[in-house]
Structure 1
Amino acid sequence: MTDIAGLQAGLDSDRAAEIFDSLPPVTTEQILGRWHGSEVPTAHPMDGLLDVSGWYGKEFADADHVHPLLFGAPGRLYAVNPKLMPLGTLNRLGDRFPRWLPPGGRAAFRLARTRRHRARLREVSYRGAVSAAMVYDDLPIIDHFRMVDADTLLGAMDQRGSARPYFFLLQRD
Structure 2
Amino acid sequence: MTTTAPADTLRYLEHGATIGEALAFFDGLPAVTVEELLGRWTGGEIPTGNPMDGLLGRFGWHGKRFDSPEDVHPLVMDRAGGGTFSLNPGLLPLPALLRYPAALRNPALARAARVLGPALGTRAPKARLRLTRYRDVDSATMCYDDLPILDAFRRVDGDTLLGAMDMRGLEQPFMFFLRRE
TM-score interval, normalised by the smaller of the two chains: over 0.9
Deviations 1:104-134 (A, max 9, x none): 2311211111000000000000001000000
What number of residue pairs does the alignment pair up?
Answer: 171
Deviation at 1:86, TM superposition (A): 2.6
1:46 is matched with: 52
1:121 is matched with: 129
Deviations 1:27-55 (A, max 9, x none): 00011000000011001001110111110
User: Which letter does structure 2 place at the counterpart of 1:70?
Assistant: V
Deviation at 1:97, TM superposition (A): 4.2
2:98 is matched with: 91
TM-score between both structures, scaled by the size of structure 1: 0.93
Runs of 4 or more above 4 Å deviation: none
Long gaps (5+) in structure 1: none
Contact 1:46 1:97 in 2 (8 A): no
Structure 2 Cα separation of the partners of residues 87 and 6 of structure 1: 30
Deviation at 1:92, TM superposition (A): 2.1
Contact 1:45 1:97 in 2 (8 A): no
Please tell me the root mean square deviation across aligned C-alpha atoms, in Å.
Answer: 1.4
Structure 2 Cα separation of the partners of residues 101 and 66 of structure 1: 29
Contact 1:32 1:60 in 2 (8 A): yes
Contact 1:52 1:100 in 2 (8 A): no
3-state SS of paired residue (2:115): helix
2:85 is matched with: 78
Deviation at 1:91, TM superposition (A): 2.2
Percent sequence identity is 46
